[in-house]
Amino acid sequence: MAGILPVTDSRSSSHSKSSSTLETSRDQHNLPFLKEDSYTDTILVIEGRKLYTHRSLLGYASPYFTKLLNSAHSAALSEKKAKAELKIADKNYADFVDMFAFFHPGVCRELNDKMALRLLPLADEFQMAALKDRCERLLVNVLKKTPMVNRASKGPPTHKNRRDNTPEILLKCIKAADQGNSKVLLDQCIRMFSSPEIALKDLKASSEISDTTKSKIFETRMDAASNKLSRMANELDREKHEKEMLKKQLVDRFVPKNRSPRYNGSEPTVEQPRPFPVKLPAHKHHHYIAHQRSHRGMIKSDKGDL
């Protein structure tokens, strides 16, 4: 899968790389279900090619196959055939080879993200619960490690399985989750699609994703946007309240209580006129003082005449 780093089941990367190379070369010819042996009693035919197995292996792995094999073996007995043959229509032979490799006791194969994307819908259709759970856990782990913001990319990819195309990764995962009825993987994809950094253009144009899943993604994106606006509104109200409290504290601290400020932020106020001064006593009035001065002058002039 382009865009996803391969993830293996709790093994080191170097070990997984070397072991996967050995398995690839070995699996071409040595897979036990590619040829008939003494344990074979069931043959599956996919795209005209045969896989050889025992009914007990398929029965333990899948209750769906249990029903099919019961009827197939009943038909084989009535026709006096030693082996039951079961044809699987409209399926990919390579996908069935990978699926057989994960429940056959003679094969030890590591699961990667490419296989998980292909096998998840198949495991759900054929009711292979263990394989489905394994695919879900691996893909959810891949999504958790995927960056929410695309990394800058110049030119074609320089290495395989790069992780710089988050919308493409999400689309492939959500397609597998939709086709495989995987609620765990679908919830993780919807949670990531709720981020405004993820573009919805390719999702809208995709015809492989159901309208129900698309509507869930759009509703989640709208809910996330609404919650963000609500948080912003609450933050603005809190800042406004703090500003008003600070203003009140400044007024109480610097404006005397017996005097109103000239300007309190609304309308200017006119100061009250000062009261007329209280009437002075007669001996301090200016008419009395002038009369005393004139009287003293007259006394001085009379003494001079004498």
Give residue-wise pLDDT tens across range 45-67: 999 999 998 888 888 889 998 88
Predicted TM-score of the model (pTM) = 0.60
Rounded to a whole number of angstroms, the CA Rg of the chain reads 45
Based on the domain organization, do 117 and 216 belong to the same domain? yes
Based on the domain organization, do 173 and 248 belong to the same domain? yes
CA 6 distance to own-chain centroid: 21
Q: What percentage of residues in the chain have a pLDDT greater than 90?
A: 18
Please report the pLDDT score of residue 159 as a whole number: 38
Based on the domain organization, do 52 and 36 belong to the same domain? yes
Please report the pLDDT score of residue 139 as a whole number: 94
Based on the domain organization, do 103 and 117 belong to the same domain? no
Please report the pLDDT score of residue 14 as a whole number: 42
Contact assessment for residue 185 and residue 138, using Cβ atoms and an 8 Å cutoff: no
**Structural domain of residue 77, as residue ranges?**
29-109
- If you average pLDDT over residues 87-96, what whole number do you get? 91
Long-range interactions of 160-166: CB distance < 8 A, separation 24+: 161/1, 161/2, 161/3, 161/4, 161/5, 161/6, 162/2, 162/3, 162/5, 163/3, 163/4, 163/5, 164/3, 165/2, 165/3, 166/3, 166/192, 166/198
Based on the domain organization, do 126 and 225 belong to the same domain? yes
273 is a domain residue: no
Please report the pLDDT score of residue 152 as a whole number: 43
Based on the domain organization, do 215 and 242 belong to the same domain? yes
CATH code for position 40: 3.30.710.10
Nearest-angstrom CA–CA distance, 42 and 77: 12
Based on the domain organization, do 131 and 246 belong to the same domain? yes
Highest mean pLDDT among 127-141, 182-196, 291-305: 127-141
Based on the domain organization, do 95 and 184 belong to the same domain? no
Based on the domain organization, do 196 and 233 belong to the same domain? yes
Please report the pLDDT score of residue 86 as a whole number: 86
Based on the domain organization, do 55 and 79 belong to the same domain? yes
Based on the domain organization, do 126 and 176 belong to the same domain? yes
Q: In sequence order, what DSSP letters do the residues of 27-93 get, joined into one string?
A: HHHH-GGGS--TT--EEEEETTEEEEE-HHHHHHH-HHHHHHHHHHHHHHHHTT-SSEEEEE-S--H
225 is a domain residue: yes
Please report the pLDDT score of residue 118 as a whole number: 93
Based on the domain organization, do 82 and 115 belong to the same domain? no
- Helices and strands (DSSP H and E) totals, the chain: 11, 3
154 is a domain residue: no
2 is a domain residue: no
Q: How many structural domains is the chain composed of?
A: 2
159 is a domain residue: no
236 is a domain residue: yes
Please report the pLDDT score of residue 281 as a whole number: 58
Q: How many Cα neighbours within 13 Å face the side chain of 289?
A: 5
Place 78 in a pLDDT band, splitting at 50, 70 and 90.
Answer: confident
197 is a domain residue: yes
Residue that finishes a domain, picked among 109, 140, 156: 109
Q: What is the DSSP letter of 133?
A: H
222 is a domain residue: yes
Residue 119 clears pLDDT 90, i.e. is over it: yes
Q: What is the DSSP letter of 274?
A: P
The pLDDT tens digits for 5-43 are 333 444 444 444 444 444 444 455 678 889 888 888 888
